[in-house]
Amino acid sequence: MDKYYNKGEVLNKYIIEKFLGEGRYGIAYLGVNDKGEKCVIKQLKIEELENTKKKLFYEEKILRSLDNYSSFPKFISRFEDEYREGYILEYMEGNTFHQILSKTQYEFTKDDIYEIANKLLDLIEELHNENIVHRDIRISNVIVNENKELLLIDFGLARFINNKRYTKKVDYWFFSDFLIHLYYSSYVDEDLEEEQPWYEELDLIEEERHFLKKLMGLDGEYKNIEEIRKDLEELKRINQVIK
């Protein structure tokens, strides 16, 4: 049974400010030290520690290897006591795209989507250049800060690429799924009786539909990020002509 931290408890000089959420593998809290510096305290769940302890600590190894990048959280330290085990990570300021979509109901234009796609592709390329695949690029794991920069968090499922189980293609799939969520921000539900797949439901030109499906491996597949960038630039060009 997991023993949760309470607000006000102190861990490695960080005071627990609040509970942030939990998933299958961990429980997250916001912490702050006496200098006002924030952190994320990630408590690993006991059941998963017992079953897959080796896998849970990939996050530490991967984040330490990305220490020179400002778009990914820095690993601060590990902790362990009688009841709990986990690590402390840099807190990334900003709003996740899940927060933006659910709380503000902001409607992303196609120009917005292409700009965001380029920025997110930069982060994916940085990871792949370091032989890392994220495997969880969701709207809840991508943050936009006050400078309109994108930040990528939650490396719990990240792995080193081995071209067998852990390949670049899985990030292409998540990249497409992420963009589809942005397209849906301006979707008007016509209350049709039959449920339709996203590629029929959304207002997409044929080139966009092909681009998103190809990222998912449903209509051919991309071999590398250079090919993705080329098609993304073509989409931007077409969009300008249509406007």
Give me the CATH number covering residue 196: 1.10.510.10
Q: Does 4 map to a domain? A: no
**76 and 40 within one domain:** yes
Q: Does 167 map to a domain? A: yes
- Please identify which residue in the block is written with the tokens 């709207």: 139
Query: pLDDT 10s digit of each residue in the chain, 243 long?
Result: 899 999 999 998 999 999 999 888 889 999 999 999 999 999 999 887 777 766 777 899 999 999 999 999 999 999 988 889 999 999 999 999 999 999 888 999 999 999 999 999 999 999 999 999 999 999 999 999 999 999 999 999 999 999 788 999 999 999 999 999 999 999 877 766 677 899 999 999 999 999 999 999 999 999 999 999 999 999 999 988 987
**116 and 76 within one domain:** no
CATH at residue 64: 3.30.200.20
**109 and 187 within one domain:** yes
Q: Cβ distance 132 to 158 under 8 Å?
A: yes
Among candidate residues 75, 90, 105, the one where a domain is terminated: 90
How many structural domains are present in the chain? Answer: 2
What pLDDT sits at residue 81? 85
Query: Parallel, antiparallel, or unpaired: how do β-strands 38-44 and 85-90 relate?
Result: antiparallel
Q: Does 1 map to a domain? A: no
**185 and 83 within one domain:** no
**109 and 83 within one domain:** no
Record the tokens describing residue 180, joined without a space.
């589809």
Q: Does 194 map to a domain? A: yes
**110 and 197 within one domain:** yes
Compute the distance between CA of residue 27 and CA of residue 3 in angstroms, rounded to an integer. 10
Q: Does 160 map to a domain? A: yes
Q: Does 155 map to a domain? A: yes
Left (φ > 0), alpha (ψ -120 to 50) or beta: where does 44 sit? beta
**236 and 162 within one domain:** yes
Among candidate residues 54, 72, 90, the one where a domain is terminated: 90
- Please identify which residue in the block is written with the tokens 């820095």: 74
**83 and 122 within one domain:** no
Q: Does 186 map to a domain? A: yes
**64 and 169 within one domain:** no
What pLDDT sits at residue 243? 72
**108 and 52 within one domain:** no
Domain range spanning residue 146? Answer: 95-242
pTM, 2 dp: 0.93
**Which long-range contacts link 142-148 to residues 24+ away (Cβ below 8 Å)?**
142/96, 142/97, 142/178, 143/92, 143/93, 143/94, 143/95, 143/96, 143/97, 144/94, 144/95, 144/97, 144/100, 145/92, 145/93, 145/94, 146/93, 146/94
Cβ atoms < 10 Å from Cβ of 128: 16
Among candidate residues 57, 90, 123, the one where a domain is terminated: 90
If you count them, how many residues does the chain have? 243
What pLDDT sits at residue 191? 66
Q: Does 2 map to a domain? A: no
**99 and 77 within one domain:** no
